[in-house]
Chains A and B, each alone.
Chain A
Amino acid sequence: MEKLKEMRSSRKSFLLAALGAFAAVFSGGIGRAWGKGHGSEKAGRHKPGSHLWGMVIDLDTCTGCGACVLACSAENNQVLGSPAEAAMNRVIRWLKILPSQEGEYPLVKQRLLPMTCLHCEHPPCTKVCPVNATYRNEEGIVGQVYPRCIGCRYCLNACPYTIKFYNWKEPVWPAGMEGSFNPDVSVRPIGVTEKCLFCHHRLQRAREEAAAQGRPLQAGDYQPACAEVCPAKAITFGDLNDPDSAVSVLARDIRAFHLLEELGTEPKVTYLKERS
C-alpha cells in the first residue's frame, strides 16, 4: 500500500514536470511570435531592394528550336543520355520542349512549350522535403542541395509540373569528356534530385563581378544560359521586384499566363500566349 501511494505521487510529479516543460517552451515561442508580428516569414523574404528573379517565355516567337535545351544541358553538365535511358524516360533535361497538339486537321494547333522549373512562389516541392535539401531562397529561386538530398523522391512526386529530375544511376562520361564541364556547376552524384536553378552560379559570378567593380547588380548582369542563347529572343529574364524591368512589364502583358495557375503555386516563369 505504501508503495502504491508512492507510485501515484511519483507519477503525478512526473506528468506535471513534463507538462511544465512543454508549457515553458510553448509560452516562450508564442510570446516571441507575437512580438515579431504575423507573417514574419514573408517579411524576411522580400526585403526592399532585394531581387526576385523571374522569366517570361513568349510562345509567339518561340519556334521550339531547342537551342535553350542544349545551352542548358551544356551549361549545367547534364547527363549525355543514351538509348536505354531515353527508352525509360530517364534522360535529365532541366529544360525541355514539351509538345502538345490540340484539335484535328485542319484546325489542329501544335504547341511547343519550353519548360523549366517554374520557381514557384509557393513551391509544393520544398514543403515536403524531409531534409531541407530543396528550399526557396531569399531571391525566389528554388534551390537544391545535392550533398544533403537523401533521394526519397518525395519532392519529385509533389511537383505538379513533374519538372524535377532524379539521378537513377551514377552519371558517366567517356574519358576526356569531363574536360568540357562547366567548373561553376557541380556534377550530381547518383541518387539525388536535381532541377533548374535559374543558372544560380551565374548570379553568384555576376554578383562577385559587380562587387569587384564596386557597383550594385544591374539588369542584364545575370542571364541564364537559355535566355542568353535563344535565337528568337523569346526568353526574357530579370528582376520581378523592379516594376520597370522588361520581365516585369512582360509578365503583366495581356497574353501572360502561368501553367496550372489554379493550383496557387504562383510560378515565376510566365508564358505569353501565341497571338493569332
Chain B
Amino acid sequence: MTNRPWTFYVQLACLLGFYAFTAAVNLWFPWRAVLLYRLGDAWLPAAALGSILGPVFLLLSYILSQVFFKIAAPRRGGGKAAPPMLMLPEEAVLAAPVLAPPTPRFLAAMAVLGAISLWALFLWCRQLYYGLTVTGLGGSVFWGFYIVNFVFFIGISHAGTLISAILRIVQAEWRRAITRSAEVITVMVLMFGGGSIIVDMGRPDRLLNVFTDGRLQSPLLWDVCSITTYLISSTLYLYLPLIPDIAIIRDRCRDWRKPLYELLSLGWTGSHEEIEVLESCISKMALLVLPVAISVHTVVSYVFSMTIQPMWHSAIFGPYFVVGAIFSGIAALLIAMALLRKGYGLEEYLKPIHFDNLGKLLLVMSCLWFYFTFCEYLTVWYGAVPDEMTVFYAKFSGNYASGFWLMVATCFVFPFCVLVSPLGRTVAGTVMASATVCVGMWLERFLIVAPTLVRPRLPYATGVYIPTVTEIGIFAGSIAAFIMLYALFTRFFPIVSIWEVREGKELAEAQVSARIRTYFPS
C-alpha cells in the first residue's frame, strides 16, 4: 500500500464515504420503519422507500467499487510514467474552451450573470432576515414562485440524464456529441431545484429536522429522498463518461487545475480493460438512472396530487409531470446546445441533424403534453365538480386566462407549427420553439400551483397572488447562477465528449452495420 500518490487516498476516502452513506441509507429506513411501527404509526412508507432506495444505493456503491478497484486501484505507483493521452488535431476545438484562457466576452458575460446572482443572493439574505413577508404570498396562497421554480427546475433537470440514458440504451449513435451537455444541465439545475425548496422554507435553519424527525408518510419526504438519490446518481452518471476526457485534459493542463484533474481522472490510461469496465458501468448507470429520474418527477407531482385540493388531486399528475419534465428538459437542452455551438464554434459536432432529431423528440413531447393537458381539463370540465370548476374557470376564462392561453400557445400551438415541418426543424427554428416551451412550461407549473390556492374550497379565504421583486429576483438569480455554473463547467471540462465521439467515429460504423445485419434474415 506504499508509494501510492495522494490522489489514491482521496479516492479511497471518497469510496469509503460513499459506502458509509450507503450503509446509512440502508439502515435509516428500516430503523424508521421499526420506530414508526412501534408507535402504531404507518411504517409502510418507510419500509417501501427503504426497499427501493436501499438497493439503489447498494448498486451505486457497487458501480463505484468497480470503478475504483478496476480503474483507480490497479495502477502501481513508482512505475514509469504512462504516455500522455492521445488527442487528435481535429479534437482541439473541443478541448480549447478548457485549455485556452477565457475570452473577454466570456468574462463580461460572467460578470453580468454574477451580478444578477449576487443580487438574488442579497434578496435571499434579506428574506432570511425579514421572513417570507417580503414575498407576495398571503391569505390562502401559501406557495408561489419558489415552489413553481422548484417544479420547473426539477423538470428541466430531466433534460439530461433521462434523454441521454434513453439514447444510450437505444444505442442512438447521434447521441455522442450531446449527452454531456444534457447531463450537466441535470446536475446543475437540480441544485437550484432543491435550493428553491430551501428558499421557500420558512425555517431553513431547521432543515435537518427533515432527517431527525422525518415523517416518511409525507410526499415531501419522498421528494427529499428521490431528489437526493437523483442528484447523486446523475452526478455519477455525468462523472463516469467524463473520466477519459479528464485524463486527456490532465495530460495537457499546465496550470493550478492539474491536481484536480489528476484526482478526478483516477489515473486513467485508456487501456482496453479500463474502457471495458467503464462502458459496462455507464450502461448500468443508464439503466439505473432511468427509473430514478421518472420517480423524481412523479413524486414531485405527488406533492400536489396527494392532497385533496381541487385540480391538484388528480391521478394523471404523475405521468403528466414526467412528460412535462422531459418536454421542458429537451427544450432547455436545445437552447444550451445552440449556445455552445455558437459560442465555442462546435458546428462540426453539434450539427443540424442533432437539432432536427431533438426537434422531432420535442414535437412528440409537445403532442404528448397536449394530450395530457386535454385529458386533465376535459375530465375536470365534464365532471363539473363545483370546487374544481371554480379553479377551472379561473384558468380557462378568469384571472389566469391570459396565462393559460399563453401556455397553450407556447407549449403546443407554436412549437407544433414550427416543428411539424422539416423546414422548421432548423437550428433557429428548434431554438425558438424551445424558448417558448420553456416559458410555457414555467407558466404551466405556475398555473397548477397558484389558481388552486387562490380559490380554495371554502370561498371565504380567497386570496390574490402578485409576486414581489424578491421572488422574481431570486428566480432570475437562480437562472443566472445556473447559466454561470454551466458556463464555468465548460471551462473546466470538455462539454462534448471527446472520447465518445472519437469512439463513435472509429467503431460505430462497424458496430452499427454489424447490428443492422442482425435485424434481417441472414
Interface residues of A (CB under 8 A from B): 3, 7, 11, 14-15, 18, 21-22, 25-26, 29, 32-33, 40-41, 44, 88-90, 96, 98-100, 115, 124, 127-133, 148-154, 156-158, 160-162, 166-170, 190-193, 259-260, 263
Contact = CB atoms under 8 A, between A and B. Distances in A.
Given A128-B307, A157-B307, A168-B133, A162 B458 contact: yes
B308 to A, nearest CB: 6
Contact of B218 (A96, A128, A167, A168): A128
Contacts of A156: 142
A90 to B, nearest CB: 4
A121 to B, nearest CB: 15
B220 interface: yes
A187 B30 CA distance: 37
Nearest to B304: A157
Given A128-B218, A152-B200, A154-B303, A18 B55 contact: yes
B217 A127 contact: yes
Interface residues of B, number: 59
A108 B233 CA distance: 62
A39 B40 CA distance: 9
Interface in B387-443: none
Contacts of A26: 47, 51
A152 B220 contact: yes
26 contacts: A18-B55, A22-B55, A25-B34, A32-B37, A41-B42, A100-B459, A124-B307, A128-B220, A128-B307, A130-B221, A132-B213, A150-B201, A150-B206, A150-B210, A152-B201, A152-B202, A153-B200, A154-B219, A156-B142, A157-B309, A160-B457, A160-B458, A161-B457, A166-B142, A169-B133, A191-B201
Given A162-B461, A169-B131, A191-B132, A11 B47 contact: no
A132 B203 CA distance: 15
A150 B55 CA distance: 30
Nearest to A26: B47
Given A29-B34, A166-B142, A170-B131, 7 more contacts: A88-B139, A99-B460, A131-B214, A150-B201, A150-B207, A168-B133, A260-B458
A90 B220 contact: no
Contacts of B214: 130-131
A156 B132 CA distance: 15
B203 A191 contact: yes
A192 B203 CA distance: 7
Nearest to B218: A130
Interface string B194-222: 00010011110011011001110111110
Interface of B: 26, 30, 33-34, 37, 40-43, 47, 50-51, 54-55, 58, 62, 66, 70, 130-133, 137-140, 142-143, 197, 200-203, 206-207, 209-210, 213-215, 217-221, 224, 303, 306-309, 453, 456-461, 463
B58 A150 contact: no
B131 A167 contact: yes
Contacts of B42: 41
Contact of B33 (A25, A160, A166, A260): A25
Nearest to B62: A14
Nearest to A44: B40
Choose among A131, A153, A154 the residue with the greatest number of B CB atoms under 10 Å from its CB.
A131
Contacts of A124: 307-308
Contacts of B40: 40-41, 44
Contact of B210 (A29, A131, A170): A131
Contacts of B41: 41
Given A41-B41, A157-B453, A259-B458, A128 B210 contact: no
Contact of B209 (A131, A153, A191): A131
Nearest to A191: B202
A209 to B, nearest CB: 30
B37 A33 contact: yes
A153 B142 contact: yes
Given A14-B62, A32-B37, A157-B309, A89 B215 contact: no
B50 A22 contact: yes
Contacts of B463: 89
Given A130-B220, A151-B201, A260-B458, A157 B137 contact: no
A161 B461 CA distance: 9
State the main secondary structure of chain A at its contact with B: mixed
Contact of B131 (A32, A89, A190, A263): A190
B308 A160 contact: yes
Contacts of A148: 206, 209, 213
B113 to A, nearest CB: 30
B140 to A, nearest CB: 5
Choose among A40, A90, A193 the residue with the greatest number of B CB atoms under 10 Å from its CB.
A90
Contacts of B457: 160-162, 260
A7 B66 contact: yes
Nearest to A40: B40
Contacts of B62: 11, 14
A259 B210 CA distance: 32
Contacts of B219: 128, 154
A93 to B, nearest CB: 11
A168 B456 contact: no
A150 B309 contact: no
Contacts of B200: 152-153
Contact of A90 (B55, B139, B224, B459): B139
B58 A88 contact: no
B460 A98 contact: yes
A150 B139 contact: no
Given A90-B139, A157-B142, A161-B457, A132 B54 contact: no
B228 to A, nearest CB: 14
Contacts of B307: 124, 128, 157-158
A18 B55 CA distance: 7
B202 A158 contact: no
Contacts of B197: 152
A96 B140 CA distance: 14
Contact of B458 (A32, A98, A153, A191): A98
A252 B457 CA distance: 25
Nearest to B66: A7
Contacts of B37: 29, 32-33
Given A88-B139, A127-B218, A169-B130, A151 B202 contact: yes
B18 to A, nearest CB: 14
B216 to A, nearest CB: 9
A36 B3 CA distance: 60
A129 B55 CA distance: 26
